[in-house]
Structures are given as C-alpha cells and as structure tokens.
C-alpha cells in the first residue's frame, strides 16, 4: 500500500511539471511568448529615406533638418564695414523624408505617414509639384471670401533643380524674382526682383552676394548682400513720377543642422 502511494505521488508530480510548468523554465517560456509580438512589430517599422529634391530646390545640399538665418544690419566705422543688430530671423525646416515643412517665406507644409501633402498655412491651401517632384506652386487663396492675405507663389527651376524664378501674386502686391548662378553652384550670385504695389508704385531690387564661409557640405553659412533698390511712384502734386534709389548692405549668417546618416 505504501509503495502504491509513493508511485501515485511521483506520477502526479511528473504530470504537474509537464502540463502546469511551475518551473523557472516554464516562466521564461511564457515571458518569451509575450515579448515576441513587440520584437516583430519593431522590425516592421519602415525607416525614413531622405529625398534631397526639396533641399536642392531651396539651394541646399545634404540631408538638411533645420536652417536658421539671421539678417544683420551694417554701418560704416572709419571706412570699415561693421556688423550691427539682428533685424530679422528666418527658419526653414525639413522632415526625416526630406519634405520641406517650412520654407523661407514662412509657408507651411504638412505630410501624412505615406508622404502625401495634407495641410498648409490654411485649410484651403493647395500645393502642386511638377513631374520631377519639385514644388511648383503654393496656392493660399480662399475662393469664397475677400481675404487680404491671399497669395499664390509659383516656382521655376533649371535642369539642375535650382530655383531660377519665384513669382508671388497677392492682394497688396505682386513680384517676380529671378535668380542667377555661376557654374554648378547651387547658391545664387545675384537676384533681380520686379515688384508692383496696389497703391501704384513699382520697385526694382537687385541684390548681389559675396560668400564668406561654407560648411563641410558646401552650404554657405555667411554672406554679404548688396541691395540696390529703385522705387518709382506718382508725384503727389505733379503729373509725373518720382524715383528714388537706395543702397543697403546687410550680412546674413545661418546655422544648419542635418539628420544623422548611417554608413
């Protein structure tokens, strides 16, 4: 009888170990089963692939993330040009896919998980791209209301993907800016802008650039801008036009951050 009880107890312990798995090994197997879905899920997440089309469109090389530009006034000190105060700060940003999310005119761009555009400055904003994937129009017009901030911007490019023209049509003014390059450089040596204003005046603005510093990727980080502006408007008391010419020298400095690349 005692032998029967020992045999029955041994059989029960064997069944408990094989079916109930009260051992440390069983606990480890159960934990592994719970963690497996998380590991598989991480492996299925697609990593962004940076497309440099937008960066090049705005005169930039590499996988650019953020560009902060400061514009400084200048003054003459005993015949020597000196830097003055910062008069304006501008931001340009790109997402991990290389899409521009804010351009130098403060236009906003938003994209969904598939890379499709879905928002801009307003709910009615429309962005169009050409066959090469470059932004060719930013349309920010409310068709059913008289909105003074309405504008349409149109971009033109050369065969190398560099911006050659920017045209803005708005309620208070319209202008077109042409950009000129030297050789294969993606930074402009000169721009010419012709503007017309709602009050009747016009302006011709020519800017030449002298580049002082570049970063390791060849993007400029400091330049001197010489602007010559000719304004024409009707005289207040006489039936003729008044023309004024002004020259301004500014310094532009910018810091550029990039997405980390893996070799």
pLDDT tens-digit series, residues 150-194: 889 999 999 999 999 999 998 888 999 999 999 999 999 999 999
Indicate the SS3 state at residue 179. strand
What residues make up the domain containing 170? Answer: 53-258
- Higher-scoring residue by pLDDT: 63, 40: 63
pLDDT at 206 over 80: yes
Are residue 182 and residue 254 in the same domain, yes or no?
Answer: yes
How many CB atoms neighbour CB 182 within 10 A?
Answer: 9
Region 119-132: mean pLDDT is: 92
Are residue 39 and residue 63 in the same domain, yes or no?
Answer: no
199's CB contacts (< 8 A; 6+ apart) are 233
Is position 119 within any domain? yes
Are residue 33 and residue 120 in the same domain, yes or no?
Answer: no
How many domains, in total, are found in the chain? Answer: 2
Is position 48 within any domain? no
Are residue 202 and residue 91 in the same domain, yes or no?
Answer: yes
pLDDT at 37 over 80: no
Residue 147 is predicted with a pLDDT of 57
Query: Could you tell me the two tokens for 256?
Result: 């550029």
**Would you give the DSSP letter of residue 23?**
S
Are residue 214 and residue 125 in the same domain, yes or no?
Answer: yes
Phi then psi for residue 122, to 5 deg, are: -135, 170
Region of residue 2 (left: phi > 0; alpha: psi -120 to 50; beta: else): alpha
Are residue 30 and residue 147 in the same domain, yes or no?
Answer: no
Are residue 145 and residue 187 in the same domain, yes or no?
Answer: yes
Is position 20 within any domain? yes
Are residue 91 and residue 195 in the same domain, yes or no?
Answer: yes
Nearest residue to 228 (alpha-carbon basis) of 199, 192, 201, 175: 192
Alpha-carbon distances of 243 from 188, 195, 201, rounded to whole Å:
28, 14, 10
- The proportion of the chain whose per-residue pLDDT surpasses 90, expressed as a percent, equals 61
Residue 261 is predicted with a pLDDT of 77
Residue 39 is predicted with a pLDDT of 47
Is position 237 within any domain? yes
**Distance of alpha carbon 161 from alpha carbon 57, whole angstroms:** 6
The residue ranges of DSSP E strands in 24-99, in sequence order, are 64-77, 80-94
How many helices (DSSP H) and strands (DSSP E) are in the chain? 3, 14
Query: Could you tell me the two tokens for 234?
Result: 């009707």
**Distance of alpha carbon 112 from alpha carbon 114, whole angstroms:** 5
pLDDT at 110 over 80: yes
When mean pLDDT is compared over 1-15, 58-72, 188-202, the highest value belongs to: 58-72
* Mean pLDDT (the chain, rounded): 84
Are residue 101 and residue 198 in the same domain, yes or no?
Answer: yes
Are residue 12 and residue 114 in the same domain, yes or no?
Answer: no
Torsion over CA: 218, 224, 228, 233 (sign): positive
Indicate the SS3 state at residue 120. coil
Is position 222 within any domain? yes
Are residue 93 and residue 171 in the same domain, yes or no?
Answer: yes
Are residue 114 and residue 241 in the same domain, yes or no?
Answer: yes
């Amino acid at each position: 009888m005692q032998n029967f009880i020992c045999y029955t107890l041994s059989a029960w312990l064997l069944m408990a170990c094989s079916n109930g798995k009260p051992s440390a090994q069983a606990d480890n197997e159960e934990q592994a089963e719970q963690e497996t879905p998380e590991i598989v899920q991480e492996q299925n997440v697609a990593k962004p692939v940076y497309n440099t089309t937008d960066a090049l469109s705005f005169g930039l090389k590499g996988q650019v993330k953020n560009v902060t530009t400061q514009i400084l006034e200048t003054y003459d000190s005993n015949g020597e040009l000196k830097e003055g105060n910062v008069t304006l700060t501008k931001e340009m940003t790109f997402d991990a896919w290389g899409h521009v999310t804010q351009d130098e005119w403060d236009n906003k761009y938003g994209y969904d998980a598939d890379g499709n555009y879905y928002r801009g400055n307003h709910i009615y904003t429309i962005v169009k791209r050409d066959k090469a994937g470059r932004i060719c129009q930013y349309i920010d017009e409310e068709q059913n209301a008289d909105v003074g901030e309405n504008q349409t911007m149109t971009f033109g490019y050369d065969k190398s993907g560099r911006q050659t023209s920017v045209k803005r049509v708005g309620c208070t003014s319209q202008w077109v800016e042409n950009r000129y390059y030297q050789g294969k450089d993606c930074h402009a040596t000169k721009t010419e802008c012709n503007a017309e204003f709602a009050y009747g005046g016009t302006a011709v603005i020519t800017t030449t650039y002298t580049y002082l510093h570049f970063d390791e990727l060849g993007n400029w980080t400091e330049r001197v801008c010489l602007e010559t502006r000719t304004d024409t408007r009707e005289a207040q008391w006489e039936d003729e036009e008044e023309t004024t010419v002004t020259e301004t020298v500014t310094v532009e400095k910018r810091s550029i951050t990039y997405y980390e690349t893996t070799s």
